[in-house]
Amino acid sequence: MPSSVPNKRIRKSPAARRAEIVAAAASVALTEGLECITLRRVAEELDVRPGLISHYFPVADDLVAEAYGTAAASELEELLPADRSGATPTRHLARLLARTTGEAYDDISRLWLNARHLSRYRPALRARVGVQEAAWRDRMEALIRDGVAQGEFRTADPLVTAIQILVVLDGLGMLVNSAATSEDPPAVRRLPVTTAERELGLAPGTLGAMPDDSAPTADSGGVGGPRGAAR
């Protein structure tokens, strides 16, 4: 072990140390859960004493909220970048839906599930969840508005459509800790894509590859219901 026993002190600027602490806490939140953000756990992560964490976050709940906030915000930036100059709205939406379906997204699903539950007991966290919730809705709504403006999407109410897609994503995300997730019928995993394509007036397959249709199954063909203007 290179870190000798007496463990020399390293003194950092408050800003740097604070950022370090939040980053460590966010990492713990993503991998182990928000309730694992304890003074002792975060201190161990940074190889400092628990008292130091208390010094920067006199109320531990504030650290939890902060850690969640940064984790969720950075994930939003990754999945729905504010600067969308790179590609068309359709491509951005397809990319988002592709990533949220992958297994790598499970940690994020767990984080949201975790935060939404824990915010029942922790006001500071609840406030942060509200902020992030609004941010995701805003980004999604802006994306859809953009798509509508460019003639790619067609919907009467971009906000409601945005929320509708997010609700489906959340609903599936709720299953992240259930064993059954992977054995669900493919149509279930494709629910966000199907929902988005339907609500935005897109042709099936536009936002994600259709499941292999070659076999004559009864189900895939029908759009699922009477077609019409979305809402």
- Cα gap 198→231, rounded to integer Å: 10
54 binds, among a copy of itself, DNA, none (CB under 5 to 8 A by kind): DNA
60 binds a copy of itself (CB under 8 A): no
Question: Nearest approach, Cβ of 200 to a copy of itself (angstroms)?
Answer: 8
Torsion of CA 168, 68, 103, 210, to 10 degrees: 30
> Which of 23, 52, 131, 160 touches DNA by CB under 7 A?
52
50 binds a copy of itself (CB under 8 A): no
Residue 109 CB, shortest distance to a copy of itself, in Å, is 10
Which residue type does 99 have?
A: R
- Which structure tokens are listed for 169? 């994503």
Which of 33, 45, 61, 204 is the binder for DNA (CB under 7 A)? 61
* Assigned token pair, 203: 């042709």
- Half-sphere CA count of 229, side-chain side, radius 13 A: 4
User: Considering the complex, what minimum distance in angstroms separates the CB of residue 223 from a copy of itself?
Assistant: 10
Identify which range of 48-56, 68-76, 143-151, 222-230 contacts a copy of itself by CB under 8 A: 222-230
Q: Are 12 and 20 in contact (CB under 8 A)?
A: yes
Minimum gap (Å) between residue 14 Cβ and DNA: 5
CB 84 within 8 A of CB 143: yes
- Applying CB under 7 A, which residues contact DNA? 6-14, 17, 36-41, 48-52, 54-55, 57-61
